[in-house]
Amino acid sequence: MIPVPRRAAVSAATLALAVSGLAACGGESGGTGTEGAGGGGASGKIALLLPESKTTRYESFDRPLFESRVKELCADCEIVYSNADQDASKQQQQAESAITQGVKVMVLDPVDSAAAASVVNSAKSQGVPVVSYDRFIRSAPIDYYISFDNEKVGQLQGQALIDKLKEDGKSRGAIVMINGAPTDNNASQFKKGAHSVLDSSGFTIAAEYDTPDWSPDKAQSWMDGQLSQIDKASLAGVYAANDGTAGGAIAAMKAAGLDPLPPVTGQDAELTAIQRIVAGDQYMTVYKAIKPEAGKAAELAVALLKGEKPATDEKVEGIPSFLLEPVAVTADSIKDTVVADGFYKIEDICTGALAAKCGQLGLS
């Protein structure tokens, strides 16, 4: 397990200050883009390798935010982008292709955290520094790690679920846990954080599942099976590690006729999840401000391309790291979080039949 120090959590403002000396590459002269990786060139290629598209955040937010920030800092930089579609072998091929194309820096969000070590070693053998983005790559010579306090994510989810159950007057009952992909190192941290709360809550963990590929369909299928085995009346709550698996669990429970639904957790603040929260189908999600995360990764990439090494006092398993604070979002805090940050507009959330409920929540 990765030790995540509590003091490691940093704000977006702190992240910006950490690389305050980083000048825009486009403003420098003499860069040809032909110097070696990290050699201080004023332009060059940066690889951005993302793991999958089932989670909507990657294509809708991470990629465009990263690309926009790179262009702000380095107008002449070229981004070599690939999405692995949850295929570790495909990601390996994409990484090798990027290296062949002459990238000077690689920003890698791994499909399989263990398998990605070989990607890192290939990059480093060619002098290409690597930023481990969002998911930690263990036992590999990465240069930086940028993510959120992932154990705290699980703690937020678990505590929100227990608080809601107690608010509803419950002190015992069954909880099922739908965890993330077993190949994702972050998923183990979410699970650890959730267990630190749920195991001592007085509620019983009736069943637990590590969801291959974070697949909503597989989460739904597993939940279907559980609902045929357990006493539905005893089901107090559902811990779902992200919004996709939450959606799968909710679909299964609706198909089984559960009404009302037990509270369900989530993560990533996907638009459909925020809408489910407004509708009352999902209790909460975890908002991870992707803009500062993607922006910081872009700043690190451009700095490394220039041969700079931004300083940080924090380390995860010896790797210089930047960890951001996750935030729990319920119906009462949508306006003060994802709307206030411009992540979504009210008109994006409050469509069709949700308009009336949005009005009741002050989302107007």
- State how far the alpha carbon of 243 is from the alpha carbons of 155, 216, 283, in Å: 16, 9, 11
Residue type, 183: T
Residue pLDDT, tens place only, 101-139: 999 999 999 999 999 999 999 999 999 999 999 999 989
Residue pLDDT, tens place only, 36-79: 343 344 589 999 999 998 888 899 999 999 999 999 999 999 99
List the domain boundaries for the chain. Answer: 6-149+289-324, 150-288+327-360
Strand order in 235-240's β-sheet? Answer: 204-210, 174-179, 235-240
Q: Which CATH number fits domain 150-288+327-360: 3.40.470.10, 1.10.10.10, 2.160.20.70, 3.40.50.2300?
A: 3.40.50.2300
What's residue 15's pLDDT? 44
Q: Count Cβ atoms below 10 Å from residue 240 Cβ, excluding itself.
A: 31
Residue pLDDT, tens place only, 262-308: 999 999 999 999 999 999 999 999 999 999 999 999 999 999 999 99
Angle among Cα 265, 147, 150 to the nearest 5 degrees reads: 40
What pTM value is reported for the model? 0.79
Helices (H), the chain: 12-18, 57, 63-73, 88-100, 116-125, 150-167, 185-198, 216-227, 243-255, 271-279, 290-305, 346-349, 354-360
**CA distance linking residue 77 with residue 70, whole number of Å:** 7
Give the residue carrying structure tokens 């004023």. 42
**CA distance linking residue 312 with residue 299, whole number of Å:** 13
**Residue 258 region, left (φ>0) first, then alpha (ψ -120 to 50), else beta?**
beta
Q: Are 146 and 321 in contact (CB under 8 A)?
A: yes
What's residue 177's pLDDT? 98
Q: Which CATH topology does 6-149+289-324 take?
A: Rossmann fold (3.40.50)
